Chain A
Amino acid sequence: MLASLSRRAILAIYAVIIIIPLTVVAFGSFKSTQELFAGPFSLPHSLAPDNFAEVVGGQNLGSSFMNSVIVTGISVPLTLFLASLAGYAVSRLKGFMSWAIFGFLVLGMAIPAQANMVPLYVLFGRLGLLDNLAGLILANVVSTLPIAVFILGGFMRTLPKELYEASSIDGSGPWKTYSSIALPLSAPSIAAAAIFLFVIHWNELLYPLLFIQTPGNRTLPLALLSFQGEFQTNYPLLFAGVILASLPVVVAYVFLQRYFVAGITAGASKG
Chain B
Amino acid sequence: MSQISRRQAMALLGALGLGASAAACAGPGGSTKPAGASGPAAPSAGAVTGKVSFAHWRGEDKAVFDELIKRFAAKHDGVEVAQDISTSNDYNAQALQKLRGGSIGDAFATFRGAQFKNFTEAGIYTELKDSQAVKNYQKGLLSAGQNGDSQLGLPYQVVFPMPMANLDLFDKAGAEIAPKNWDAFLAMCEKLASAGVIPISWPGGDVGNGGQLFNCMIANNAPVDDMCAQIEQGKLKCTDDWFIKMLNQYKDLKPFVQPNATGTAVEPAQNLFSQGKAAMLATGSYHLAAVRGLGAKFPIDLVFPNTTSDGKGKYEGAYNATFILGVNSASKNQAAAAAWIDFLSEPENAGYYANQTAQHVSVDKVEYTNPDLKRLSPWLQKKTALAARFQFNNLDVRNAVEASATAVISGTSPEQAAAAAQKIVDERL
CB within 8 Å of B: which residues of A? Answer: 33-34, 37-38, 58, 96-97, 119, 121-123, 125-126, 131, 209-210, 213-215, 225-233, 235
CB within 8 Å of A: which residues of B? Answer: 5, 8, 26, 57-61, 63, 82-88, 90, 94, 97-98, 101, 103-104, 206, 208-209, 266-268, 270-271, 274-275, 283, 286-287, 290, 293-295
Closest to A209 in B: B90
A231 touches B287 (CB 8 A): yes
Closest to A96 in B: B5
A214 touches B94 (CB 8 A): no
Contacting residues, chain B, for A131 (C-beta < 8 A): 103
Alpha-carbon separation in the docked complex, A104 to B268 (Å): 49
Alpha-carbon separation in the docked complex, A230 to B359 (Å): 13
B26 touches A34 (CB 8 A): no
A228 touches B59 (CB 8 A): yes
Contacting residues, chain A, for B268 (C-beta < 8 A): 37
A220 CB to nearest chain B CB (Å)? 15
Alpha-carbon separation in the docked complex, A132 to B104 (Å): 14
B339 CB to nearest chain A CB (Å)? 22
B242 CB to nearest chain A CB (Å)? 29
Alpha-carbon separation in the docked complex, A37 to B60 (Å): 20
A232 touches B87 (CB 8 A): no
Closest to B8 in A: A97
A230 touches B60 (CB 8 A): yes
Contacting residues, chain B, for A228 (C-beta < 8 A): 59, 87-88
Contacting residues, chain B, for A210 (C-beta < 8 A): 94
B103 touches A122 (CB 8 A): no
Contacting residues, chain A, for B82 (C-beta < 8 A): 215
B57 touches A230 (CB 8 A): yes
4 interchain residue pairs of minimum CB distance: A229-B60, A229-B59, A230-B88, A37-B271
Closest to A38 in B: B275
Alpha-carbon separation in the docked complex, A135 to B353 (Å): 37
Closest to B88 in A: A230
Alpha-carbon separation in the docked complex, A96 to B98 (Å): 44
A232 touches B266 (CB 8 A): yes
Closest to B272 in A: A37
A205 CB to nearest chain B CB (Å)? 10
Contacting residues, chain B, for A233 (C-beta < 8 A): 266-267
A230 touches B294 (CB 8 A): no
A215 touches B87 (CB 8 A): no
Alpha-carbon separation in the docked complex, A130 to B118 (Å): 23
Alpha-carbon separation in the docked complex, A34 to B58 (Å): 21
Contacting residues, chain A, for B5 (C-beta < 8 A): 96-97
A97 CB to nearest chain B CB (Å)? 6
Alpha-carbon separation in the docked complex, A177 to B82 (Å): 54
Contacting residues, chain A, for B85 (C-beta < 8 A): 215, 226
Contacting residues, chain B, for A226 (C-beta < 8 A): 59, 85-87
Contacting residues, chain B, for A229 (C-beta < 8 A): 57-61, 88
B208 touches A231 (CB 8 A): yes
A225 touches B26 (CB 8 A): no
Alpha-carbon separation in the docked complex, A85 to B26 (Å): 31
Partner of A121, one of B8, B60, B97, B270: B97
Given contacts A123-B26, A213-B98, contact A225 B294 (CB under 8 A): no
Contacting residues, chain A, for B290 (C-beta < 8 A): 231-232
B90 touches A225 (CB 8 A): yes
Partner of A231, one of B8, B98, B266, B271: B266
Contacting residues, chain B, for A215 (C-beta < 8 A): 82-85
Contacting residues, chain B, for A126 (C-beta < 8 A): 26
Alpha-carbon separation in the docked complex, A226 to B5 (Å): 51
Contacting residues, chain A, for B206 (C-beta < 8 A): 231
A225 touches B103 (CB 8 A): no
Q: Which of A131, A210, A231, A233 has the most CB of B within 10 A?
A: A231
With A210-B94, A230-B87, A232-B270 already in contact, 8 other A-B pairs whose C-beta atoms are closer than 8 Å:
A34-B294, A37-B271, A209-B90, A213-B103, A225-B87, A229-B61, A229-B88, A231-B208
Alpha-carbon separation in the docked complex, A209 to B87 (Å): 10
Q: Which of A58, A213, A215 has the most CB of B within 10 A?
A: A213
B399 CB to nearest chain A CB (Å)? 16
Q: Can you identify 11 A-B contacts, CB atoms within 8 angstroms?
A: A33-B271, A33-B293, A34-B295, A122-B26, A126-B26, A210-B94, A213-B103, A215-B82, A226-B59, A229-B57, A231-B287
